[in-house]
Structure 1
Amino acid sequence: MKDFSRTGARLFRITAAVLLILFLLLWGAQTLFAHRNPVFTPDYPMEDLTALLAQEQLSAADYDALFLQTGLGMPAIDALLAQGAQGREQILAIQRQFFAAPATVCAELFGLLVREDRLAPDKNGQPVWGPPMPTLEDGDVLLTYATHSMGWRHGHAGLVVDAARQKVLEAVVIGSDAAVTNLGHWRSYSNYLVLRLREKSPELQSELTTWALEHLEGVPYRLFSGLLGPKAPDPGLPGFGVQCAHLIWYAFQQFSYDVDADGGRLVTVDDLARSPLFEVVQLYGLDPRQWIY
């Protein structure tokens, strides 16, 4: 009987030690490895853009300079400059936020496994927001690398389905269905990227968002969508589901645009970010030099 008790106690200690080691490995991946690279803030000087914004015409080099200083791509710069003095002031305000060094917090999203980096509240406990997205259009794609699981920054994606009302269609997490959410929470991420189809048109944008709402809203979250089974199955089939990046790809491929940069079975946020079919409208918390070609 004593030998049995000793064996049981030994197994208990071994099990407890294994669980502790696994917990420490998970903690290390989620806190240390996932944050091995700090949140990006420009490592180059902030410049006075007044003279540049006063020019009647901008060159490719001018657009690159503005992109480095503000995170605003050509579509956003053109749209804001068309607003005159008010638009120029907004560009300068976004530049100031782009160069600010924000504090961040790593928040729980799905138990111990999935977490996301958000901008930390200020000293009074009030929420802090990233720069506004003043030039959004229907059909724009929102990406962030703030979401991570066990050290892997897989990120998150959403589709702007109503820019005027700031509504986004997104598949958020296991156990939930794709749903329309408010845009606001995207500005609390530690980084974000706004993309737009280069060949966009008002008709395409309207048709794409309408189709996405009709066929993808309410679809279950499927982590391995596209990886197990057909990449583009009929949405009416039993078991159909999407994860966040696959939702974006699935909507665009219905209109013959394959926005998966590497063409693999699994569509990731980075595949969308590197697609040559998209152009950058705006980014924040990310190094713009990675998107200057």
Structure 2
Amino acid sequence: MPIIQKRELSTIKKRGRSLLLIISVLISLYCIFIWKNVYDASYTPKGPQANISCILKKNKLSREDYSFLFKQTGLSKTAIDEFRLSSDGNKKILSIQNNYFKRNNIFREQLNPFTVQESILVNGSLSRFIQMAPVKNGDILLTKSCYTLYWRHGHCGIVIDAKKGITLESLTPGSHSITQDISKWQYFPTFKILRLKNVDQKKLDEIASFAAKNLAGIKYGICSPKRYDDAKPKVENCSQMIWQAYYHYGYDIDGNKGLLVTPSDLAKSDLFEVVQTFGFPPDKPW
């Protein structure tokens, strides 16, 4: 065999080995990605469950008390204070703490060939396990308990009628944005309530009303662009719909200000406070 052909054959073999190595590394990384996203489905506190009854008996709580209660229950100062307005508020907080420390079994439902949604199982049955803090119009509900091709894009909805427990949501390809019963959110292994900071409830009512009147019945679009004018979007997804409602009133709630907005971008926005978190690490937005 001529020397030139031997060199070419050797080069081809080296390139083949390099390509095989790259493919092997990519497959390994994707396997790790799959493991992390499937088996690390929700957060459970690693520390001990403390007796918080003595704290809840206080008439006035300190900053340290609120911080400790948040780590033990996933409830913020806002939620703790709202619960404590009712006669059975402390009892509800203790019940939420018990559930906060439980590791749940998870049921995975195949929504389509690519997308999976997770729900909590108790004694082999789907369970409305999460006890929600009181919500208000304009609140944003978040979960990361759904994924496509093992990417946890999550889902979000906006509360448009807190008294009746109604949300507006954009769900899946081929559907249109519709109202949903808020009770569906109690099934998710991960759950978070966000509320716009330093804004009176009247403004939040206006945002919720705008969403209900202008953003319902719109076709789902996976990569829906943001609209910076007042034109009604032709397509929308769950997070872009909520961003649109808030942007109409001057609030850019996209945490990274990118071309598209995702549920995790909303979770990372500095404009929101966390009212309640379950299944999310308390020190991380997503």
Same fold per superposition (TM over 0.5): yes
- What is the root-mean-square deviation in Å for CA atoms of aligned residues? 2.1
Letter in 1 for 2:52: L
Which residue of the partner structure matches residue 197 of structure 1?
Answer: 196
Percent identity for Structure 1 against Structure 2: 30
Which residue of the partner structure matches residue 138 of structure 1?
Answer: 137
CA distance in structure 1 between the aligned counterparts of 2:220 and 2:198, rounded to whole angstroms: 29
CA distance in structure 2 between the aligned counterparts of 1:206 and 1:167, rounded to whole angstroms: 13
Which residue of the partner structure matches residue 101 of structure 2?
Answer: 99
> Is the partner of 2:284 in helix, strand or coil?
helix
Q: Is the Cα–Cα contact under 8 Å of residues 225 and 231 in structure 1 kept in the other structure?
A: no
CA distance in structure 1 between the aligned counterparts of 2:49 and 2:232, rounded to whole angstroms: 52
Which aligned segments of 4 or more residues in structure 1 are displaced greater than 6 angstroms? 27-31
> Is the partner of 1:158 in helix, strand or coil?
strand
CA distance in structure 2 between the aligned counterparts of 1:214 and 1:241, rounded to whole angstroms: 16
Which residue of the partner structure matches residue 65 of structure 1?
Answer: 68
**Offset, 1:287:** 1.4
Letter in 1 for 2:120: L
Which residue of the partner structure matches residue 49 of structure 1?
Answer: 52
CA distance in structure 2 between the aligned counterparts of 1:255 and 1:231, rounded to whole angstroms: 13
After TM superposition, the structure 1 = structure 2 runs for residues 257-276 of structure 1, keeping only pairs within 5 Å, are 257-276=251-270
Normalising by structure 2, report the TM-score: 0.84
Query: How far does the alpha carbon of each residue in 1:60-84 deviate from its partner, in whole angstroms, 9 at most, with x for none?
Result: 2211111110011111001011224
Letter in 2 for 1:177: H
Letter in 2 for 1:119: I
**Offset, 1:180:** 0.4
Match of 1:232 among 215, 228, 233: 228
Letter in 1 for 2:228: A
The number of residues matched between the two structures is 258
Q: Is the Cα–Cα contact under 8 Å of residues 141 and 195 in structure 1 kept in the other structure?
A: yes
CA distance in structure 2 between the aligned counterparts of 1:131 and 1:78, rounded to whole angstroms: 19
CA distance in structure 1 between the aligned counterparts of 2:118 and 2:98, rounded to whole angstroms: 21
Normalising by structure 1, report the TM-score: 0.83
**Offset, 1:182:** 0.5
Q: Is the Cα–Cα contact under 8 Å of residues 133 and 276 in structure 2 kept in the other structure?
A: no
